[in-house]
């Protein structure tokens, strides 16, 4: 029986509606959540993604602003801008779009964003809070979105064998930290695989929940998947395809056709994890704004 599709677009839309309701409630108390995205350089993919974030922010009733800087911007100039945004009470969330030009160190920039405005969830303080199980920090948006997909699709994580293929700081590591937490969407037994893992298929075929975030087009094939497993494809890659006008097509880290014949549930690419990332970014920004109301009320 072919796998059931996990509709990330529909779930993301439901979250956006929830966010819009929260934004309206905050506006009634005189606070409009504000998200500022900083884009350095002219990377086409980043520009498209940033535009989608700004559009989604405004659609939810938030203040969405994009600051575009030339690729020649120095690290000192970028850090000075971050400090100005840190001090701006109307800016609740700050996101510096990656990748940055090679002369700017991304870790230095991330560390300069105040943790309470780090809605991307990359600051060491927020990463540390996730690891020790505190819920008052911000979680990286893509893995947080995966957890929402699992919960809202009725996937039981408690006691499940979860295998993550990929160990990045953006997805793999925070994904593992979320899945082992003792709360909804957690309590799983987690294995993290990577480029040095031996006999990868031995691990992936053991997974009740398989999360592919390795960044290699269609690397995970159906014969690597346990029958009935839930497959979450975080990848976003392009492959040559002469049948397409652009000569390429989008695909994930999972070979969808073969995987869908084995899995019980699977996310498509596009339309799976991707829409969830922006939805969770909006949710994080609203949470950041809500905290300013709580602080003022004290």
Digit-coded pLDDT (tens) for 131-184? 999 999 999 999 999 999 999 999 999 999 999 999 999 999 999 999 999 999
Q: Please determine, for residue 14, whether its predicted confidence score (pLDDT) is greater than 90.
A: yes
For residue range 255-288, what is the model confidence (pLDDT) as tens digits?
Answer: 999 999 999 999 999 999 999 999 999 999 999 9
Question: How large is the angle between the packed helices 8-27 and 141-152, nearest 10 degrees?
Answer: 110
**β strands within the chain, DSSP E:** 4-5, 34-40, 63-69, 93-96, 161-165, 189-193, 209-212, 230-233, 237-240, 248-251, 265-266
45 falls in which pLDDT band (50, 70, 90)? confident
Strands of the 34-40 sheet, one edge to the other: 63-69, 34-40, 93-96
pLDDT of amino acid 44? 80
Averaged pLDDT for residues 3-32? 97
pLDDT of amino acid 97? 95
Chain centroid, CA 5 distance in Å: 19
Task: Tell me the HSE value of 290 on the side-chain side, using a 13 A CA sphere.
Answer: 15
pLDDT of amino acid 295? 57
Choosing from 22, 117, 118, 120, the catalytic residue is 120
Please check whether residue 53 is in contact with residue 104, taking contact to mean a CB–CB distance below 8 angstroms: no
For residue range 63-105, what is the model confidence (pLDDT) as tens digits?
Answer: 999 999 999 999 999 999 999 999 999 999 999 999 999 999 9
Question: How large is the angle between the packed helices 124-132 and 172-179, nearest 10 degrees?
Answer: 30
The reply to whether 53 belongs to the active site is yes
The reply to whether 120 belongs to the active site is yes
Q: What angle do CA 138, 140, 146 make, to 5 degrees?
A: 115
Chain centroid, CA 141 distance in Å: 3
What are residue 162's DSSP bridge partners? 190, 209
Q: Please determine, for residue 297, whether its predicted confidence score (pLDDT) is greater than 60.
A: no
The reply to whether 58 belongs to the active site is no
Query: Is the model's pTM score more than 0.85?
Result: yes
Residue 23, both tokens: 């934004």
Choosing from 22, 53, 208, 233, the catalytic residue is 53
pLDDT of amino acid 296? 54
Which domains are assigned to the chain?
30-114 (3.40.50.10860), 141-273 (3.40.50.720)
């Amino acid at each position: 029986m072919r796998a059931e599709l996990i509709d990330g677009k529909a779930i993301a839309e439901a979250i956006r509606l929830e966010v819009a309701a929260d934004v309206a409630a905050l506006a009634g108390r005189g606070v409009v959540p504000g998200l500022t995205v900083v884009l350095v350089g002219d990377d086409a993919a980043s520009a498209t993604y940033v535009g989608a974030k700004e559009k989604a922010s405004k659609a939810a009733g938030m203040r969405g602003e994009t600051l575009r800087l030339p690729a020649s911007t120095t690290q000192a100039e970028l850090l000075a801008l971050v400090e100005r945004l840190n001090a701006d009470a109307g800016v609740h969330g700050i996101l510096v779009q990656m990748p940055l030009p090679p002369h700017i160190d991304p870790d230095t920039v991330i560390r300069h964003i105040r943790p309470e405005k780090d809605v991307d969830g990359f600051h060491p303080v927020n990463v540390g809070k996730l690891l020790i199980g505190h819920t008052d920090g911000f979680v990286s948006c893509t893995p947080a979105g995966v957890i929402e997909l699992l919960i809202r699709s009725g996937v039981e994580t408690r006691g499940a064998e979860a295998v993550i293929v990929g160990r990045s700081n953006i997805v793999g590591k925070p994904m593992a930290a979320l899945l082992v937490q003792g709360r909804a969407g957690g309590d799983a037994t987690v294995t993290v695989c990577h480029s040095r893992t031996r006999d990868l298929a031995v691990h992936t075929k053991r997974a009740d929940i398989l999360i592919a975030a390795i960044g290699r087009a269609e690397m995970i094939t159906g014969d690597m998947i346990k029958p009935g497993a839930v497959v979450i494809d975080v990848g976003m890659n392009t492959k040559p395809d002469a049948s397409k006008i652009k000569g390429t097509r989008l695909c994930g880290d999972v070979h969808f056709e073969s995987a869908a014949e084995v899995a019980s549930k699977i996310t498509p690419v596009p339309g799976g994890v991707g829409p969830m990332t922006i939805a969770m970014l909006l949710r994080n920004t609203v949470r950041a704004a809500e905290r300013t109301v709580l602080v003022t009320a004290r």
